């Protein structure tokens, strides 16, 4: 049997890295002796996260364009040329059967070179509104695996495959893990649990909201597991009841990062989350009543579009950052006091889940190489 070789590129944020790792893991399951190489941006988080997942990675000297005139922007043409040259060297040496891009700065030059070398390429687009890199690459890509409907206005229709986003397989069976989750996170089984997710780095505005509303949650007998992100942990750890034991916040846990997402999803009753593509896809599988607070600081406001795709099908609630002051408490109170609404949101968001996304994406890759 032929020994296949694959290059994957995705990075900059967990939302690009974890789908790439999930695809690599599924390729390894199908082809145990396959060789897999990752290519990332040399100073981004993929350079740590990918080796932790057990894969080799090479870095390109590449970064995105800033929105204002900066020295970084003046360097961009040099970085791009350097990255194209290094991508060509990597592809020539490694001789991949297919190249898969899940977004991030490095996937642009790498897939561009793969296309020019006539190597099959697959784009995995997580968002409901694609970035400029994937729009450009789509013209020559062989297949474009998407997680949202109606992307024909951005990509060639005949190349689009509606697969959903790759997600952690341990989220598929969380219903059986509730007791384990409550024990693992030392939660009070008699109280409802709110899970707050701000993404791997954290979300400043979400953190400010939670800090302001802690007394409100406590008054409503809600315990809070608050993932504030590593950038903000030092600012907010003072509210962690386990540290200082202030009686006020004994039902509040503050963490920079959650290592067992399956268990905290199992234990949670309500979720407040940003609307990055990976988070949205996970929450569709998990099916917990969710309030999305999209980040307005991302390209093309794609988090709002991601959230709206769920909200328009009555699968979640949406609050914009500029509405938090006036609407948050009434929206949250309506949610926690209305079981019919909770059940409706749970059932509708679950209908949008794509549990077989990773397998379906790998099927598309296999079609191109066999």
Q: What is the Cα–Cα distance from 152 to 172, expressed in whole angstroms?
A: 30
Q: What is the Cα–Cα distance from 325 to 280, expressed in whole angstroms?
A: 24
Q: What is the Cα–Cα distance from 53 to 18, expressed in whole angstroms?
A: 9
In this prediction, residues 233-253 reach a mean pLDDT of 81
What torsion do the CA atoms of 76, 77, 80, 82 make, to the nearest 10 degrees?
-110
**What is the per-residue pLDDT for 61?**
80
Give residue-wise pLDDT tens across range 96-116.
999 999 988 888 899 999 999
- Which tokens hold the place of 236? 């907010």
Q: How would DSSP label each residue in 27-68?
A: HHHH-TT-EEEEEEETTSTHHHHHHHTT-EEEEE---PPPSS
Where are the strands (E) in the chain, listed by range?
A: 5-9, 35-41, 56-60, 98-101, 121-125, 143-146, 160-162, 192-197, 222-227, 252-255, 270-273, 290-292, 317-318
* Strand order through the sheet with 192-197: 252-255, 222-227, 192-197, 270-273, 290-292, 317-318
* Strand order through the sheet with 121-125: 56-60, 35-41, 5-9, 98-101, 121-125, 143-146, 160-162
**What is the per-residue pLDDT for 297?**
83
Which residues, in sequence order, are bridge partners of residue 143?
122
Say how far residue 33 (Cα) sits from the centre of its chain.
28
Contact, 195 vs 225, CB < 8 A? yes
Which residues, in sequence order, are bridge partners of residue 125?
146
In terms of Cβ atoms closer than 10 Å to its own Cβ (0-12, 13-18, 19+), residue 218 is middle
Q: Does pTM surpass 0.95?
A: no
Residue environment code for 253-275, b if the CB has 16+ CB neighbours within 10 A, otherwise e = bbbbebeebbbbbbbbbbbbbbb
Q: What is the Cα–Cα distance from 219 to 204, expressed in whole angstroms?
A: 24
Give residue-wise pLDDT tens across range 40-97.
888 888 888 899 999 999 888 877 655 566 666 667 777 778 778 888 999 999 999 9
**Would residue 174 be called left, alpha or beta, if left means φ above 0 and alpha means ψ between -120 and 50 degrees?**
alpha
Lowest-confidence region among 85-99, 291-305, 350-364: 291-305
Sequence-distant contacts of 120-123: CB under 8 A, at least 24 apart: 120/365, 120/368, 120/369, 122/98, 122/361, 122/364, 122/365, 122/368
Residue of higher predicted confidence among 63 and 223? 223
Q: What is the Cα–Cα distance from 310 to 286, expressed in whole angstroms?
A: 14
**Would residue 105 be called left, alpha or beta, if left means φ above 0 and alpha means ψ between -120 and 50 degrees?**
alpha
Tally helices (H) and strands (E) across the chain. 15, 13
**What is the per-residue pLDDT for 294?**
95
Q: Is pLDDT of 357 > 90?
A: yes
Query: What backbone phi and psi angles, to 5 degrees, belong to 196?
Result: -115, 125
Q: What is the Cα–Cα distance from 349 to 358, expressed in whole angstroms?
A: 19
The per-residue pLDDT of the chain, averaged, comes to 91
Q: Is pLDDT of 244 > 90?
A: no
């Amino acid at each position: 049997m032929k020994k296949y070789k694959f290059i994957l590129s995705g990075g900059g944020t967990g939302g690009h890295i974890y789908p790439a790792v999930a695809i690599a893991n599924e390729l390894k399951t199908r082809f145990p002796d396959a060789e897999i190489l990752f290519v990332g941006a040399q100073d981004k988080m993929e350079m740590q996260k990918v080796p932790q997942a057990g894969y080799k990675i090479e870095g390109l000297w590449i970064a995105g364009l800033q929105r204002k005139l900066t020295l970084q922007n003046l360097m961009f043409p040099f970085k791009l040329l350097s990255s194209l040259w290094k991508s060509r060297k990597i592809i020539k040496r490694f001789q991949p059967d297919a190249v898969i891009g899940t977004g991030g700065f490095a996937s642009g030059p790498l897939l561009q070179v793969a296309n020019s070398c006539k190597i099959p390429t697959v784009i995995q687009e997580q968002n409901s509104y694609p970035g400029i890199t994937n729009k450009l690459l789509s013209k020559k890509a062989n297949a474009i695996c998407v997680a949202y409907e109606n992307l024909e206005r951005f990509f060639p229709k005949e190349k689009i495959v509606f697969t959903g986003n790759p997600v952690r397989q341990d989220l598929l069976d969380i219903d059986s893990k509730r007791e384990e989750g409550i024990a693992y996170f030392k939660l009070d089984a008699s109280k409802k649990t709110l899970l707050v997710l701000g993404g791997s780095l954290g979300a400043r505005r979400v953190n400010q909201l939670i800090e302001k509303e802690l007394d409100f949650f406590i008054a409503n007998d809600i315990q809070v597991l608050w993932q504030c992100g590593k950038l903000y942990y030092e600012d907010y750890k003072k509210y962690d009841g386990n540290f200082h034991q202030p009686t006020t916040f004994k039902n509040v846990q503050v963490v920079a990062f959650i290592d067992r997402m399956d268990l905290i999803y199992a234990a949670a009753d309500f979720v407040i989350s940003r609307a990055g593509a990976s988070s949205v896809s996970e929450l569709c599988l998990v099916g917990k009543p969710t309030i999305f607070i999209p980040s307005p600081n991302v390209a093309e406001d794609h988090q709002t579009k991601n959230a709206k795709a769920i909200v328009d099908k009555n699968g979640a609630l949406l609050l914009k950052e500029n509405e938090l002051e006036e609407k948050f408490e009434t929206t949250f109170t309506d949610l926690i006091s209305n079981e019919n609404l909770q059940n409706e949101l749970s059932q509708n968001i679950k209908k949008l889940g794509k549990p077989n996304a990773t397998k379906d994406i790998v099927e598309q890759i296999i079609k191109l190489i066999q």
